[in-house]
Amino acid sequence: MSLEMSTLVTYAKTKGFVYQGSEIYGGLANSWDYGPLGAQLKENIKNLWIKEFVQKRKDMVLLDASIMMNPNVWVASGHVGSFSDPLMECKECHTRHRADKLVEEALERDPNFPVPANWAWDKTPLEDLNSYNTAGHLACPNCGAKNWGEVKRFNLMLSTSQWVTEDGTSLVYLRPETAQGIFVNFSNIARSSRKKIPFGVAQCGKAFRNEITPKNFIFRTREFEQIEIEYFCKPGTDAETFETWLVDEGKFFTDVLGLKSDKVRFIEIPAEGLPHYSKRAGDFEYLFPFGWGEISTLANRTDYDLGAHMKHSGADLSYFDPYDNTKYLPYVIEPSIGLSRLTLAALCDSYDEIPGEEWTSKVVMRFAPQVAPIKVGIFPLVKKFSESANELYGILSKEFMCEYDEAGTIWKRYQRADEIGIPFSICIEPENYDQGQVTVRDRDTGEQEIVVIVELIEWLKTKGC
Ligand SMILES: [Zn+2]
Based on the fold, state whether residues 231 and 281 are members of the same structural domain.
yes
Rounded to whole angstroms, the Cα distance separating 157 from 152 reads 16
How many angstroms is it from 97 CA to the middle of ligand 1?
9
* Predicted local distance difference test score (pLDDT) of residue 357: 65
In a domain, 162, yes or no: no
Bridge partners (DSSP) of residue 169 are 163
112 and 260 housed in the same domain:
no
Domain presence at residue 167: no
Q: Are strands 402-404 and 376-380 parallel, antiparallel or unpaired?
A: parallel
Kindly state whether residues 288 and 325 are assigned to the same domain.
yes
- CATH number for the domain spanning 97: value is 3.30.40.230
Q: What is the CATH number of the domain that holds 262?
A: 3.30.930.10
Contact yes or no for 211/220 (Cβ under 8 A): yes
For residue 419, the CA-to-ligand 1 centroid distance in Å is 40
Peptide bond connecting 116 to the previous residue in cis, omega within 30 degrees of 0: no
Question: What is the structure's pLDDT at 165?
Answer: 67
How high is the pLDDT of residue 354?
Answer: 85
Looking up residue 401, the CATH number of its domain turns out to be 3.40.50.800
Q: Looking at the structure, tell me whether residues 231 and 361 fall in a common domain.
A: no
How many residues are recorded in the chain?
465
336 in any annotated domain: yes
Residue 96 alpha carbon to ligand 1 centre in Å:
8
Q: What is the DSSP letter of 125?
A: -
CB 177 within 8 Å of CB 105: no
Cα separation, 16 vs 45, in Å, equals 17
For residue 169, the SS3 value is strand
Residues 237 and 324 in one domain: yes
Please tell me whether residues 338 and 231 are part of one structural domain.
yes
- Same domain? For 371 and 456 the reply is yes
Distance CA 333, CA 230 (A): 6
Which of 348, 383, 413 is at the close of a domain? 348
Could you count the other beta carbons within 10 Å of the beta carbon of residue 119? 18
Pick from 155, 186, 216: which residue ends a domain? 155
Are 201 and 284 contained in the same domain?
A: yes
Q: Which pLDDT value is given to residue 355?
A: 78
Rounded to the nearest angstrom, the distance between the alpha carbon of 216 and the centre of ligand 1 is 20
Nearest residue to 404 via CA among 372, 432, 440, 380: 380
d(Cα 305, Cα 298) in Å, to the nearest integer? Answer: 15
Residues 421 and 440: their CA atoms lie apart, in Å, by: 15
165: in domain: no
CB neighbours of residue 64 within 10 Å: 9
Q: What is the pLDDT of residue 121?
A: 84
Single pTM value for the model: 0.90
* Cα 83 to ligand 1 centroid, rounded to whole Å: 26
Q: What domain range includes position 397?
A: 357-462
Compute the distance from residue 140 Cα to the ligand 1 centre, in Å. Answer: 5
**Are 415 and 325 in a shared domain?**
no
| Separation of CA 24 and ligand 1 centre (Å) | 30
Asked if 83 and 154 touch (Cβ cutoff 8 Å), the reply is: no
DSSP state of 89: E
Of 298, 317, 348, which closes a domain?
348
Position 293 in a domain: yes
Kindly give the distance from the C-alpha atom of residue 441 to the centroid of ligand 1, in angstroms, as a whole number.
54
Q: What is the mean pLDDT of each run of 10 residues along the chain (465 residues)?
A: 87 97 93 97 98 98 97 93 89 93 91 92 90 93 94 91 75 95 97 96 97 87 96 97 98 98 96 87 97 97 97 96 96 98 98 75 91 97 91 97 95 94 95 93 95 97 96
Domain count, the chain: 3
Residues 367 and 344 in one domain: no
By the 8 A CB rule, do 199 and 241 touch?
no
Q: How far is the CA of 59 from the centre of ligand 1 (A)?
A: 52
Does residue 418 form part of some domain? yes
Whether residues 370 and 338 share a domain: the answer is no
pLDDT of residue 261: 97
CA of 344 to the centre of ligand 1 (A): 30
User: Domain check: are 398 and 449 in the same one?
Assistant: yes
Long-range (24+ apart) CB contacts under 8 A made by 190-196 are 190/319, 193/61, 195/59, 195/61, 196/321, 196/322, 196/323
Q: Note the pLDDT of residue 167.
A: 66
Assess if residue 163 is contained within a domain: no
How much distance in Å is there from the Cα of 88 to the middle of ligand 1? 11
User: Residue 156 Cα, ligand 1 centroid: separation in angstroms?
Assistant: 22
Q: Does 166 fall in a domain?
A: no
CA dist 170 and 157 (Å) reads: 15
